[in-house]
Amino acid sequence: MSNRIQPASRRDFLTGLFSAGALILGARLVPAEQITAASDVKDATWNPNIWIGINSDGSVLIVTHRAEMGTGIRTTLPMILADELEADWARVRLQQAIGSDKYGSEDTDGSCSIRDFYDTMREAGATARAMLVNAAAAQWNVPLDECGAHNHEVLHKKSGRKLGYGELAAAAAKQPMPHNSTIQLKKPSEFRYIGKGVPSYDLKDMCTGRAVYGFDAHLPDMVYAAIERAPVLGGTLKSFDDAQAKSVKGVQQTVVIESAKPPYGFQALGGIAVIADNTWAASQGRKKLKVEWESGANAIFQTDTYKRDLIQTAQKPQKVVRKAGDVEQGLKGAAKVLEATYYTPLLAHAPMEPPAALAIWRDGKVEAWTATQSPQDVQKTVAQAVGIKPEDVICHVTLLGGAFGRKSKPDYVAEAAILSKKVGKPVKIAWTREEDIRFDFYHSTSAMYFKAGLDASGKPVSWLQRSVFPPIGSTFDGKSEYGDDGEMSMGWIDVPFDVPNFRAENGPAKAHVRIGWLRSVANVYHAFGVQCFIDELAHAAGKDPVEYWLESLGPARKLDFKGQAEKFANYGKPLNEYPYDTARLRRVAEVAAERSGWANKRTAKRAVGFAAHRSFLSYVAAVVEVDIDSGGKVRIPRVDIAVDCGPVINPDRVKAQFEGASVFGTSVALFGEITASDGRIDQGNFNNYPVARLNEAPLETHVHLIANDDALPTGTGEPGVPPMSPAIYNAVFAATGKRFRELPLRKQKLV
Amino acid sequence: MIQLKVNGAAKQYEGDGEMPLLWFIRDHLQLTGSKFGCGMGLCGACTVHVNGEAVRSCLTPMSAVGGKEVTTIEGLSAHGDHPVQKAWEHVQVPQCGYCQSGQIMQAAALLKQKPKPTDRDIEAAMSGNICRCGTYQRIREAVKIASGQKRTVTA
């Protein structure tokens, strides 16, 4: 990775944050692959993405450009920088970056923050450290190599003299920027924080109610809006009567927002907004609106018939996305042939904080405060919505009360901006839970068909699989019906088993709702189908599932799928740096099995299930123990998750991500299902869209982090989710002898 | 006119008595630590204490809190040092943090009622509070630490 670090001009910096003479280092750092990747020009700009400021009082300010939705990343990236800076974390303050192209990509999505910014944070910190040391050496008039930085000070070893970072800041600011090639990064043995971790910067605020989320944004003269939207995607307004709504005390006016037209992208959906003095009046006013909608083309959407169609499509030949050997020939020679069809429903994100934004239109510009994963998408979306340029949108990023992918789609911020322009005041939008669940960008529904042939020893010799799901692309081009390279490379092309005859196919499906990405995306259903089906094969072969899984994985090798698949996206990363290494997958599988005590875990009603999956370049295996209680319901007393995500930067937060994924995956397996009737979403709150509660979640999740300092650091926010639902289903099979092939388990009366 | 105390201070409210307490706390008093999560008493993010008991403020109408003493997360302790808050910090319970005000208020009410709750007590008291990040394991642990039944964090 080659980065260029340059001093940035003072006007680039947030004004008022630094005292006169402060050392300010703007690091123009963009990962090299972002510059060379021709496919994604929007990220190929050379702009600063981080800032450091050191004040004369010694306080260090680090601008953090990733959104905090619970992963700890807002803390962890600055922590890396602080480590290389040899800064005392207690004297570091964070400043959340506003949305701006000058940061490079700020989109906190795809489990890529550490992967893409680990080196750049280190180099930025090391550069500032070098300048501080240079300044001290110059002041003392001693050779550089007699000086070193340690815990917020520079020391002259021979004389024992010391100068604090605050004392050096003004002089360091005048030092020339060292050339990138001369920057000395620390040795791992010298790390203060990397690999050890620090608590979330916001921990105390989160425990005292002081943490500020999008829902909490406030301006003194703001008004509150509640929007009634068309219940069917693409529906339009026929007529409405707002007389009663306007009679509610506190309601000021109603405003019509034009209906969005396909492709919907991140547009505001449109509807009738009730503008009021407070949240309650707005919601009461909305209830009193009388509205007639023209439903439009998506009123045909019924999830039960749609499911049948998906399954039928999956059972017919479709577009080949990976092919090795000759599947039909392989099946002919097989001693045993198995077929299975799996189905997964639409899912809603349901973050605890529903979408919320505050926006103010002023003199042709918009300023917004919102819980967003992607402030730059806020700029673009809002700009388009109100007819201004993206750079005329200032987006302040609050904390996010959960997100899971929902809050990278800023339709709700566009609503606030449109309304502010119309009413001439700051407008606060705070969705209800019903709005959140009924107007989501849903995780896609899928059908998957599998057929495999085993030889006489039980080994799989032929494997055919077809998946069908309405793709994310449909939200953006309106026509897309096939999975794109990214979706196909999330556990579908990249099935790691060593099967000589293998074919993966993908069939078309038309979307009738907005489809979006949810924590681990297409890996959720692909891992569910593949990891359950291999378990079916193990049982058909009469083998222990883990032993069979490991045998099927085959010898250690690096998979590139060349000559078999047109393109394996590998999360946008080159395979030479981020290989698909089956030895690493084997290792997590073995560790999970060993640490869970897999071998001796079975009793009459208690059983274990296994799954392992690589996603976001990390390797994860899960062993789930289930217990069927006296009422015939599934309980999960214990989960063991083994993880190889390369070097672990902030261990406790990484563990927390996998503990959380264990619960999130439990919600997927046991509870999650969105259905539609006549195009309308049937669910609306946690009563009919339940998520795992404390008494339903795994009692214990043991996370086993495999130290792998030879690899590059990779994702941790999402990769814990994919193995969970198949491991739970495989455990349920082991406990009950019943093979369920549909999410969620709630439909089987086992929950 | 409804008169009540919020975090020890006298407050009054004139308006629709059906308005839930949550919006009085958040919109009128600007105390935003209590969160909206569902509006139906299903998730517990809005949990506050009314006369010492945990209630869902999203479902509690203003007409029901006249003369009552309301405590929100902001008023639980002077310096954020209630044993439950200290335990929450020690175990590093929060991920996104959004539901944690409600979790902490719920746990604090539990400990007032049952200073040494059993696993079953904890399950019964805390299962009404949803955490979508999935911090439940640490919530269980933090409640035990706060109640003096456990001192250290297990691996």
pLDDT, one tens digit per residue, over B89-106 is 999 999 999 999 999 999
Whether residues A499 and A647 fall in one domain:
yes
A436, part of any domain: no
Choose one of A208, A225, A257: the last residue of a domain: A208
CB contact under 8 A, B137 and A699: yes
Reference B129, options B152, B96, B92, B101; nearest CA is B101
**Chain A closest CA to B54's CA: distance in Å?**
16
Whether residues A203 and A219 fall in one domain:
no
pLDDT at A141 over 90: yes
pLDDT at A13 over 50: no
Percent of chain B whose predicted confidence (pLDDT) is above 90: 96
A165, part of any domain: yes
Q: Cβ contacts (< 8 Å) between A72 and chain B: which residues?
A: 95
pLDDT at A17 over 70: no
pLDDT at A492 over 70: yes
Any CB–CB contact under 8 A between A684 and chain B? no
Strands A223-228 and A427-430: parallel
pLDDT, one tens digit per residue, over A286-340 is 999 999 999 999 999 999 999 999 999 999 999 999 999 999 999 999 999 999 9
DSSP lists the bridge partners of residue B61 as: B20
Query: Of chain B residues 7-46, which have a CB less than 8 A from chain A?
Result: 15-16, 19-20, 23, 26-28, 30-40, 42-43, 45
- The upper half-sphere exposure of residue A256, i.e. CA atoms within 13 Å in the direction of its Cβ, equals 10
pLDDT value, residue A604: 62
Whether residues A162 and A272 fall in one domain:
no
Whether residues A414 and A497 fall in one domain:
no
Phi/psi of residue B3, nearest 5 degrees: -110, 135
A435, part of any domain: no
The first and second tokens of residue A25, run together, are 């280092």
Whether residues A612 and A636 fall in one domain:
yes
- In the chain, the amino acid numbered A676 is A
Assign residue A173 the CATH number of its domain: 3.30.365.10
Query: Of chain B residues 67-86, which have a CB less than 8 A from chain A?
Result: 72-74, 80, 85
**Chain A closest CA to B148's CA: distance in Å?**
19
Domains and CATH numbers, chain B: 2-75 (3.10.20.30), 83-146 (1.10.150.120)
Q: What is the CA radius of gyration of chain A?
A: 27
The first and second tokens of residue A194, run together, are 């990397």
pLDDT at A15 over 80: no
pLDDT-derived band at A183, boundaries 50, 70, 90: confident
Reference A566, options A504, A633, A650, A477; nearest CA is A504
pLDDT, one tens digit per residue, over A34-46 is 322 222 222 222 1
Phi/psi of residue A279, nearest 5 degrees: -60, -45
Expressed as residue numbers, the domain containing A225 is: 214-297+355-430
Choose one of A406, A430, A454: the last residue of a domain: A430
**Chain A closest CA to B106's CA: distance in Å?**
13
CB contact under 8 A, A199 and B92: yes
Write the residue in B45, B97, B99 that is nearest to A202 by C-beta: B97
A113, part of any domain: yes
pLDDT value, residue A603: 67
pLDDT value, residue A52: 85
Reference A86, options A27, A31, A29, A147; nearest CA is A147
- Answer yes or no: are the C-beta atoms of A662 and A701 closer than 8 Å: yes
pLDDT at A49 over 60: no
CB contact under 8 A, A213 and B15: no
Query: Of chain A residues 202-221, which have a CB less than 8 A from chain B?
Result: 202-213, 215-216, 218
A251, part of any domain: yes
pLDDT at B30 over 50: yes
pLDDT at B80 over 60: yes
- Chosen from B133, B135, B141, B145 to mutate, greatest number of chain A CBs within 10 A: B133
pLDDT at A103 over 80: no
Q: Cβ contacts (< 8 Å) between A280 and chain B: which residues?
A: 16, 19-20, 23, 27
pLDDT, one tens digit per residue, over A374-385 is 999 999 999 999
pLDDT at A522 over 60: yes
CB contact under 8 A, A352 and B131: yes
Any CB–CB contact under 8 A between B47 and chain A? no
Whether residues A146 and A263 fall in one domain:
no
pLDDT, one tens digit per residue, over A539-556 is 999 999 999 999 999 999
pLDDT value, residue A662: 98
CB contact under 8 A, A69 and B96: yes
Closest residue of chain A to B79, computed from CA coordinates: A208
Whether residues A160 and A267 fall in one domain:
no
| Average pLDDT over chain A, rounded to an integer | 92
Whether residues A176 and A37 fall in one domain:
yes
Closest residue of chain B to A654, computed from CA coordinates: B95
> Does the structure's ipTM exceed the value 0.95?
yes
Whether residues A113 and A235 fall in one domain:
no
Helix (H, G, I), strand (E, B) or coil at A233: coil
Q: Cβ contacts (< 8 Å) between B13 and chain A: which residues?
A: none
Q: Cβ contacts (< 8 Å) between B48 and chain A: which residues?
A: none
In terms of DSSP H, where are the helices of A141-268? Answer: 165-173, 203-208, 243-246
Query: Of chain A residues 328-357, which have a CB less than 8 A from chain B?
Result: 350-354
pLDDT at A386 over 90: yes
pLDDT, one tens digit per residue, over A671-728 is 999 999 999 999 999 999 999 999 999 999 999 999 899 999 999 999 999 999 999 9
Write the residue in B16, B31, B97 that is nearest to A249 by C-beta: B16
Whether residues A387 and A511 fall in one domain:
no
A46, part of any domain: yes
Write the residue in B93, B98, B128 that is nearest to A401 by C-beta: B98
Task: Give the number of other Cβ atoms within 10 Å of residue A389's Cβ.
Answer: 11
Whether residues A492 and A425 fall in one domain:
no
Whether residues A47 and A159 fall in one domain:
yes
Any CB–CB contact under 8 A between A529 and chain B? no
Least confident of A401-405, A668-672, B149-153: B149-153
pLDDT value, residue A11: 37
pLDDT, one tens digit per residue, over A438-458 is 999 999 999 999 999 999 999
A149, part of any domain: yes
The owner of tokens 């349901």 is: A350
Choose one of A208, A230, A263: the last residue of a domain: A208
- Answer yes or no: are the C-beta atoms of A427 and A275 closer than 8 Å: yes
pLDDT-derived band at B152, boundaries 50, 70, 90: low
Section A242-259 average pLDDT: 98
Helix (H, G, I), strand (E, B) or coil at A583: helix
Task: Give the number of other Cβ atoms within 10 Å of residue B77's Cβ.
Answer: 18
pLDDT-derived band at A21, boundaries 50, 70, 90: very low
Section A656-683 average pLDDT: 98
pLDDT value, residue A467: 98
- In the chain, the amino acid numbered A147 is C
pLDDT at A144 over 90: yes
The first and second tokens of residue A642, run together, are 């083994």
Helix B119-126 vs helix B136-146: crossing angle, to nearest 10:
120
The first and second tokens of residue A626, run together, are 């289930």
pLDDT value, residue A605: 65
pLDDT-derived band at A53, boundaries 50, 70, 90: confident
The Cα–Cα gap between A672 and A667 comes to: 6
pLDDT, one tens digit per residue, over A80-98 is 999 999 999 999 999 899 9
Any CB–CB contact under 8 A between A287 and chain B? no
* Cis bond upstream, residue A263 (ω within 30): yes
A168, part of any domain: yes
Section B53-69 average pLDDT: 98
pLDDT, one tens digit per residue, over A353-372 is 999 999 999 999 999 999 99
Reported as type and span, the H/E element at residue A468 is strand A460-468
Phi/psi of residue A550, nearest 5 degrees: -65, -40
How many separate domains does chain A show?
Answer: 3
The Cα–Cα gap between A706 and A641 comes to: 10
- Chosen from A74, A207, A650 to mutate, greatest number of chain B CBs within 10 A: A207
